[in-house]
Homo-oligomer: A and B are copies of this chain.
Amino acid sequence: MSDLLLKNVRPLGAEATDILIRAGRITGVGGIEAPAGIAVEDGRNAILWPGLIDAHTHLDKTTWGMDWHENEREAVLRGRIDFERENRLEIGIDPHRQSMRHALGLAAHGASHIRSHVDIDTTHGLRLVEGVQETREKLRGIIDIEIVAFPQSGVMVMPGTVELLDEALANGCEVLGGIDPCGIDRDPKGQLDALFALAARHGVGIDIHLHEAGELGAFTMELIFERVRASGMQGRFAISHAFALGMNDHLRVGRLIEQIAELDIAILTTGAPSATVPSVRRLREAGVRVGAGCDGIRDTWGPWGQPDMIDRATIIGMRNGFRSDSDLRLALQIVSQGGADVMRLEGYGLGIGCKADLTLLEGQTVAHAVVNRAPRPLVVKGGRVVARDGHCIVGTP
């Protein structure tokens, strides 16, 4: 935990000022003379923002930094899952090396926290989780990683998976994942009952992938609502993707959102351009916690994505039809404060006493900083400079 005087920065786009950091926390804001012996950085009038948060990604999957992975496979969800499980290690997607590259890429672009789903299946057991846990240890002080034990291949359809999830939660995974109880598992009651029992046993929250669209996804949400209410999991459940909330039935979606807000369920979006996605603004107006993530980047599923939450903010913004400066600010909040709300991070923000997890953004205004594609001039984690001009200066992939 470091000391640092960050001069001439514009907090959240406001007037330029200085920020004093002591022992990794913000201790002063205003015109500040450098205390003796302290490191000083000139922010050159850049915008100061809390660390960006990738609250939905897959650190164990990317081919980033590897040779190009050719893909001529059919675009069917089950096929993608099975191909990846059967070929990932042979292709060379080493979970530790690749999660290092992915996480350092995010840090280089201003992220301070990651929530990563990591595959758990009967082929690999906990091996992929262990690779990402190794990365988490190596990157301590550079970027924080929270791991979701994620049954990518299904739960009920893959006997033995419940036991592996149980083991993962006993060995350092903070959150329990799930996936399409109808679409992938063909047994919604079975999967959801199993997940809620595991979560209760380990006292963890749940973050479920729900690609199910339209009425199917709405049905699964209703099953989730019943169980959140019955088990007292209010405030500790998250739905990732939630494509059903993008369906073309304003009233039906409104009733789902009412329950999501009432049960304090969080929504994670990637702004998927070819899917029906939830309206970020509608969710926020209903008081729902909304975070965002890059999802998988350049993996065996598809070629898209960058390890950059500003890039993700633009994808979410474009998909949501955002245009105004206020809209762009909201997109930026979703990839920062929104993720902190979902992960319930302590000490997040720019107030006195907050952790000094910060990034500078280049732009005349906040909106400009979202769209201008400039590298982050400086990234600070716990008061320590970890990246400059788009490149990490600590850690080696």
Tell me the A residues contacting B by CB distance below 8 Å. 67-68, 70-73, 75, 248, 273-274, 298, 301-304, 306, 314-315, 317-321, 323-326, 328, 363-365, 367-368, 370-371, 373
CB contacts (< 8 Å) of A364 on chain B: these are 67-68
Distance in angstroms from A82 CB to nearest chain B CB is 16
Q: Complex formed: what's the CA distance from A72 to B320 in Å?
A: 16
Distance in angstroms from A19 CB to nearest chain B CB is 24
Is A304 within 8 A of B71, CB to CB? no
Q: Which residue of B lies closest to A314 (CB)?
A: B304
Q: Complex formed: what's the CA distance from A319 to B368 in Å?
A: 24
Could you tell me the dominant secondary structure of chain A's interface residues?
loop
CB contacts (< 8 Å) of A373 on chain B: these are 306
A273-B273, A318-B273 known; A365-B70 Cβ under 8 A: yes
Listed by A's residue number, 21 A-B pairs whose Cβ atoms lie within 8 Å are A68-B368, A70-B325, A70-B365, A70-B367, A73-B324, A75-B321, A75-B323, A75-B324, A248-B248, A274-B318, A298-B371, A301-B323, A302-B323, A303-B323, A303-B325, A303-B328, A303-B368, A303-B371, A304-B318, A304-B323, A315-B318
Top-7 shortest CB links A-B: A274-B321, A302-B323, A273-B318, A68-B368, A68-B364, A273-B319, A303-B371
Is A320 within 8 A of B73, CB to CB? no
Beyond A70-B365, A304-B317, A306-B373, list 9 extra A-B contacts (CB 8 Å). A68-B367, A73-B324, A273-B319, A274-B320, A302-B323, A303-B323, A303-B368, A304-B314, A304-B318
CB contacts (< 8 Å) of A315 on chain B: these are 273, 318
A303-B371, A318-B304, A371-B298 known; A326-B273 Cβ under 8 A: no
Q: Complex formed: what's the CA distance from A395 to B301 in Å?
A: 42
CB contacts (< 8 Å) of A304 on chain B: these are 314, 317-318, 323, 371
Q: Complex formed: what's the CA distance from A306 to B314 in Å?
A: 12
Q: Complex formed: what's the CA distance from A119 to B4 in Å?
A: 52
> Of the candidates B248, B302, B319, which one forms a contact with A274 in the assembled complex, judged by CB atoms under 8 Å apart?
B319
Distance in angstroms from A172 CB to nearest chain B CB is 33
Is B274 within 8 A of A68, CB to CB? no
Is A68 within 8 A of B318, CB to CB? no
Distance in angstroms from A91 CB to nearest chain B CB is 15
CB contacts (< 8 Å) of A323 on chain B: these are 71, 75, 301-304
Q: Complex formed: what's the CA distance from A364 to B73 in Å?
A: 19
CB contacts (< 8 Å) of A273 on chain B: these are 273, 315, 318-319
**Chain B CB within 10 Å — which of A75, A304, A318, A326 has the most?**
A318
CB contacts (< 8 Å) of A367 on chain B: these are 68, 70-71, 303
